[in-house]
Each structure stands twice: as C-alpha cells, then as structure tokens.
Structure 1
Amino acid sequence: MQPHTSDTQSPVTLPPTARLARSGGRLHFLDALRGIAAAYVVFFHLVYVGGVPAPVWLSGLVAQGSSGVMLFFVVSCFSLFFTMPARLREARPIVSFFTHRFFRIAPLFYAWLAITCVLMVYVYHLPVTTAAVFQSIFFVFNLVPGNQGGIVMASWTIGVEMLFYAIFPLIYFRTHNLVQSASLVLMTLLAYFAMSFVLPLLPLDPETAGSIHQWLFIKDLPVFALGAVCYFLLADRLANEPTAQDRSVGWLLILVAACVFVAHSNGWVGDGIFGGHPYMWPAIWYAALVVGLALNPIRLLVNGLTRFLGTISYSLYLAHGPVINTLRPWYARLALHDTWSTTTTYLIAAAGTMLVSIAIAYVTYRLIEVPFIRLGKVLYARWSGSASATQAPQHPG
C-alpha cells in the first residue's frame, strides 16, 4: 500500500529533472491558477458588491471577474483526476476521497456560516431561517430553489462543488481517456439543454423556474468536464519538464485563451452556440489557459505571489465578501477625494481589500484549514487501519 498523498501530489515518481514546473509532487501552475481565480473574483466583487467604480481602461477586464469561478471548477476537476490514482491505492479509496473532501471544505465553511449568521441577525438585522442553516450544513442548498445562493456570500460555488464531489467517483470510473472526457462535456451540455427545454413545460412559477435555471449544478457540469479534458490532454506530460515544443504549444494556447477572452468580452462571439449557456466560453478560455500554463508556466502568471494566493485561495474566497461589506464606508470616503482619479481610487481600494482579505485568509488557513485537513487524514488512518501521512499539504486540493 502506498502512502497517502496530498491533493496536488502526483501518483507517479518524478525524474530528477522534473523540478521547475513542480516540486514535492506539486503542480505549480495549478496553485497559481487557483490564486489568479481567487484574486479575480475579489476584484470583480469590489466593483459589483463594494460599489467601487473601475477605471474605463480596466472595466472590461473586471466585468469578467465573476468567470473566475469557472477557472476554479476547471482546476478542481483536473486536480481530482490527477490525485485519484493515489487514492485508489489506499485501503478504502472511496472513504479516503470523501473524508478528505469533507475535512477540506466543511470546517472553514461552517466557521464562515456561523460568522455570517451572527452578522445577519445582529448587524444587518436580516432573517436567517433554521431550514436555510441546515441546508447549508448538509450542503444541499443548491437543490432548493430560492436558497441556491447560500447564506455565506458567494457560497453558491460551495454548493455546486460539494454536489460534484458526490458524483465524482462515478464520473472518474467511467472516464478513462480524452475521447470519453470530451464525450462527458457534450453529454453534460446536452443535460443543460434538456433542463432549459423542460423547465418552461413544468408547472413552476417563473421565479422558481428562473432560480433552477440560474443556479442548479447541472449547468456547471460541462465546465467541470472540461477540467477532465485538460487532464487527459496533459496526462502523459505531467511527470516531466516541458520540452521546447511543449512550451511553444503552451504559449500558443495562452494566446488563444487571451483572444477568446477578448472576443467574448466584446460580444464578438455569443453564447447562442451553447444554447445560451453563459459559462461555456469562459470555461473554454480557462481550459486553454490551464493546458497552456502546464506546458509553458510563464513567470508573469506562475510565480511566488500567485502560488501563495493559490495556497490560501479557499480561505481568500470565503473571507473577501465580509471584508468588502465591512470596508464599504472606507470606499465611500475614498470616493470623496476629488483630486484622485478613478484609477487611483480603485487601485487603493483594491490594494487595501486584498491586504485585509489575505491577512484574514492566511489566519483561517493556518488555524482552520491546515489542522482540519490533518485531522481528516488522522481519522481516515484510524478508520481504515492504514498508516496514512498526517502532514497537512501546503495547498488544499
């Protein structure tokens, strides 16, 4: 039986030369992409939740920031496919998978759920129902129309992720190659088409039907599936440093991702080809970026800062919402400086928000994420009678 590996640890043995794009079995580009995704969502919410206007030259880029969640989804599926072979060598692989997923996600989420409920009741004077709390505790709120956004700000993604984790073993055991992963994208996209066709025929009020169409995790499955496509495109290359040809192809794919991003942002390509699915074009440009950075991890995007943000990305994602809401009076005071340009105001607000969010995220990562990831490993080792490693990973999976 092989020792337990962390969620970004490879199931293969690395040759001595494979050190630049990875270390200790960790894929640096995945860490960096998580960090980029988290930061992108923060910059988006700074404008659309915090009310800080973005400068004209940056507004188009910021407006697409919500799509950073699609990057999380693509990377998540890629990471699960990458690490599952190591879990299969565990004494009880499925128990190992679900134990790790629960202790990776639930403890920090529960902490923010408690904090949010207190803030809503005693600070914002908003109602919190017992039913909604239990839906969040059991991660089923994505299935409840009207509550699919969750209680914790931006936690709709957690509801989607947990449901995807629930079905991932079935997907994994039926998806073995590039053709099957591409078929998975098409099958899940067809499921979205079917949902869009059937919903108007059901005896549902418009609000309920709209909530289901907007939030139900079926819409997100093709995005996850593209992560599997990325994995199988790279499966034979992950153990080695990219060659010169790999780097050329990687640079090409990075440029493709940038061009698709610009084309979609400017409305030059629409969502009609995907039946109005709003996430497919972002998923495509992020899939190109994932493969591109795997083959050519350019330092502009894969560096110490982005990798550090990737390490704390889950904590950063959950922390930034309350931080933005708390700092809104500060944003308003910044706007009173008539001599400052919109660019200056936005950059100061963005820097302050990131610094506070990162500080809180690092604390919650060290005090909640790391100990509970370690606890999950210890409990699994006891349940399975194995000698699983108890050292917490540097980055969550």
Structure 2
Amino acid sequence: MEKTINTDGQHQNRISALDGLRGIASIVIVAFHVYGFGFFVLYNKLLFIQKYFAFGVTMFLIISAFSLALNYHDKIQSAASIMDYYINRYARITPLFIFMTIVWILINNLDFKTRVDLNEIVVNVFYLYNFIPDKFGGIIRASWPIGVLFIFYLLFPFIINFNKSIKSAIIMQCVFIIIGLSMYSFFKNQYYPPNYAYVSFFSQLPIFGFGILSYYFLKAFNIRTVGRMFISAVGLIGFFLVFYVLSRFFSYEDKIFYEKNNIAILYYYIMGFFMAFFIYSQCLYSTPVIDNAITRFYGKISYSLYLLHPLVIYKITPLYTYFQSIGGMSKELSYFICFLVTLIIVTPLAYLLHKIFEERASFIMKTSLKRVFQI
C-alpha cells in the first residue's frame, strides 16, 4: 500500500493514488458513455450506470483541483510565475485538443453534412465555449468538462493565493457553494438547454473547491500510519454508502438536469464533498485495488482517453448493435462486451496520442511559448 505522507509531515510532490483515482475515473466515464451512446439506456437493469458512473467526471474535476493545489500552492506568486503557470497549463492540453477539434470538424462535415463556423472554432480553441449555453458541449463530443476545467485554470492563481489555510479554504468554499446554488437557480429559469445549469462553470465551481479544501486538510495534519489506514477504510466504505443512500432519493437525469429547484444540485454538492473526502482518504493511505499499475497507467493517459473515446464509440456503434442483436445474450452481457471491446480499441490509441501530443507536442508548444514570452 502506498504511503503518501512522509513521517515528518512533508507531502510528496506527486501522489500515486491520484493517478490511480484519475485512471478509475476515466474508465468509469468510458463505461458511462458506452451506456449512453450505445443505446443501452433502454434497459432498466443497467440504470445503475446512469445513476453512478456520470460522477466519474466529478471525480476527475476534484482530482484536477487537488493536483493543482498540490503542485502550485506556493509557486504562483509573481507575475512571471503566473505566466509560467498559464503557459504550462495551456501547452499541456492544447495540442491534443486542437487535433481532436479538427477531427470532429471533419466528421461534422463528412458524416453529418454540417459546417462548424469560424466563431465556434475560435471559442473552442480558447476554451470559452462553456459560457455559450447553446455551444457548451464543445465541438469535440462530450468535451464540456475541458471547457469548465480551463476556466478554473485561469482563476486558479487568484484562488490559491487567497487560500493560505484551512480556514480561508472553508470560507472560499462557502462562497463557491452560494455562487453555485445561485447561478444554478438562475440558469434553470432561463430558456437555455435543460442541462446547461448543471454543466455551467459556476455550478461546477464548488466541486473544484472541494478538491482544494481536501488538499489543505492533507497538508495540515500529520496523521500516523494507523490513523491513515482507518481514515482510508472509512473513506472507501463511506464513499459507496453515501452514494447508495443519496441515489435512492433521485435519478441522475431527472433531478440534476430537469427539475427547477436547488435540491438536486445540493445533493450533487453533498456527493462532491464525500467524493473529496474519499480522495483525501486514499491520498493518506491508498488501497491496491485503487492504486496499482493498471489504474496508474490509465491515469497517465486519462486526458487522451477522455478526448478520444467518444470518437471510438461513434465509429464502432454498429458493433454495439450487432452484440445487442445476438439471440440468447443478455443485455447486461452485451453491454459488458461492448464496453470491453471499446476499452481494448481506445487504450492503445489513447497511449499513442498521449506520447505524440501530451508529451512531445506539448513540450514543443511550452518551450516555444516560453521563448516568445522570455520566461
């Protein structure tokens, strides 16, 4: 089991459990989209996938905020360091994002006979599409979390410099929740797409706040090994228990997307809190089922996997139809086979994109931008 805090209380600059958790989140998201895009929504026995697996995105966002706080909490103070941070973040995600944007523009043109206008392309390249209710999904299918995440990247230097302690992080999170509830209520009463209120950056802001808050708890307390093991077990058990209990009160699609009250988003924030505690607990003392070579590998390629998997699902949809049409095969088994086939296809392709774009192209862009801005 991975111990993530040294005995003197100093935190390692990289926590392997975060990679494992990020890998699990990416696999869960693939499973969710195979379910949704593959027309398995028609089968009630698979409804648990709809209820639970969409929260893989939530985990991904919390981990992203936690990781940023871990790596930058005392490093972004001068104008030069802030510019360096912005270049690193932009260069980290942009080469692959632009490549996949081009791919989806071609698909829209060739397969769907629709053209993407120049304004939409510009808005996507600069990650501002979350602010446009009719375009929040992005050109790349299911890329709304990337738009939300980049806005958080922009605000992060100011957020982290405000937070110097657990107390200030708690105050900030209270403000974030008020903003999230208020904007969710406002968007629900506008003539926007019904799920925009949920995917809006403002509604997701408290989710990032939970990630930052959990980091400050990790930083503040030097807990002995036995205590770390206990908290890890409580976090793991509590995570699943809370999700089960809260899921009895609402269906993900019905409540989060379509109800015109704040109860649904409040449940979502409660889930976000317990998910952040779960992530915190695994950073204290991770279990092998979460932190292992396989999950860490998927965590490493998670960004490429996320951007690529909707394209793979779209292209192999005829396979889904074929497996669902086989007589004598249960829908549950056909879903599992389709998910497994999707993962087998997307994994090596995502690894290849990771090596080309996330490592090589990102490095070239980063060094070029730093040369231009003389950093």
**TM-score for the superposition, normalised by structure 2:** 0.88
Residue 243 of structure 1 aligns with which residue?
A: 225
Tell me, in whole angstroms, the C-alpha distance in 2 between the residues paired with 1:220 and 1:334: 36
Give the Å deviation of 1:125: 1.8
Contact 1:54–1:346 under 8 Å retained in 2: no
The more displaced of 287-296 and 51-60 is 51-60
Tell me, in whole angstroms, the C-alpha distance in 1 between the residues paired with 2:285 and 2:34: 31
Contact 1:70–1:279 under 8 Å retained in 2: no
What is the identity, as a one-letter code, of the residue corresponding to 2:335? Answer: Y
Residue 177 of structure 1 aligns with which residue?
A: 165
Q: CA RMSD in A?
A: 3.0
Give the Å deviation of 1:191: 1.1
Whether 1:255 aligns to 2:237 is yes
Tell me, in whole angstroms, the C-alpha distance in 2 between the residues paired with 1:247 and 1:200: 42
What is the identity, as a one-letter code, of the residue corresponding to 1:96? Answer: D
Correspondence for 2:200 among 216, 224, 230: 216
Whether 1:45 aligns to 2:11 is no
What is the identity, as a one-letter code, of the residue corresponding to 1:153? Answer: R
1:230 and 1:85, CA in 2 relative to 1: closer, same or farther beyond 3 A? Answer: closer
Give the Å deviation of 1:135: 1.1
Tell me, in whole angstroms, the C-alpha distance in 1 between the residues paired with 2:365 and 2:73: 19
Give the Å deviation of 1:214: 3.6
1:137-216 mapped onto 2 (5 Å cutoff): 137-198=125-186, 206-208=190-192, 210=194, 213-216=197-200
The more displaced of 118-127 and 30-39 is 118-127
Residue 301 of structure 1 aligns with which residue?
A: 290
What is the identity, as a one-letter code, of the residue corresponding to 1:375? Answer: I
Unmatched segments (≥5 aa) in structure 2: none
Residue 354 of structure 1 aligns with which residue?
A: 343
How many residue pairs get aligned? The number is: 365
Tell me, in whole angstroms, the C-alpha distance in 2 between the residues paired with 1:237 and 1:316: 35
Give the Å deviation of 1:165: 0.9
1:82-101 mapped onto 2 (5 Å cutoff): 82-85=70-73, 87-88=75-76, 92-101=80-89
Give the Å deviation of 1:59: 3.5
Give the Å deviation of 1:56: 6.1
SS of the equivalent of 1:207 reads: coil
Tell me, in whole angstroms, the C-alpha distance in 2 between the residues paired with 1:192 and 1:90: 30
Per-residue Cα deviation, 1:195-246 (whole angstroms, up to 9, x for no partner): 2455578xxxx433856524321001000000011101101468x9x61221
Whether 1:232 aligns to 2:216 is yes
Give the Å deviation of 1:57: 6.0
Give the Å deviation of 1:37: 0.9
Correspondence for 1:267 among 249, 266, 270: 249
Give the Å deviation of 1:190: 0.7
Residue 281 of structure 1 aligns with which residue?
A: 270
1:318 and 1:92, CA in 2 relative to 1: closer, same or farther beyond 3 A? Answer: same
1:210 and 1:382, CA in 2 relative to 1: closer, same or farther beyond 3 A? Answer: same
1:62 and 1:298, CA in 2 relative to 1: closer, same or farther beyond 3 A? Answer: farther
1:190 and 1:86, CA in 2 relative to 1: closer, same or farther beyond 3 A? Answer: closer
**TM-score for the superposition, normalised by structure 1:** 0.83
Whether 1:78 aligns to 2:66 is yes
Give the Å deviation of 1:185: 1.7
Give the Å deviation of 1:380: 6.0
Tell me, in whole angstroms, the C-alpha distance in 1 between the residues paired with 2:211 and 2:185: 26
Q: Which has the higher helix share?
A: 2
Contact 2:35–2:49 under 8 Å retained in 1: no
Unmatched segments (≥5 aa) in structure 1: 1-9, 387-397
Contact 2:66–2:215 under 8 Å retained in 1: yes
Contact 1:315–1:365 under 8 Å retained in 2: yes
Residue 110 of structure 1 aligns with which residue?
A: 98
Tell me, in whole angstroms, the C-alpha distance in 2 between the residues paired with 1:161 and 1:254: 26
Tell me, in whole angstroms, the C-alpha distance in 2 between the residues paired with 1:106 and 1:379: 13
Contact 1:141–1:150 under 8 Å retained in 2: yes
1:384 and 1:200, CA in 2 relative to 1: closer, same or farther beyond 3 A? Answer: closer
The more displaced of 228-237 and 28-37 is 228-237
Per-residue Cα deviation, 1:98-135 (whole angstroms, up to 9, x for no partner): 00100111111111000000001111223322221111
Tell me, in whole angstroms, the C-alpha distance in 2 between the residues paired with 1:308 and 1:54: 33
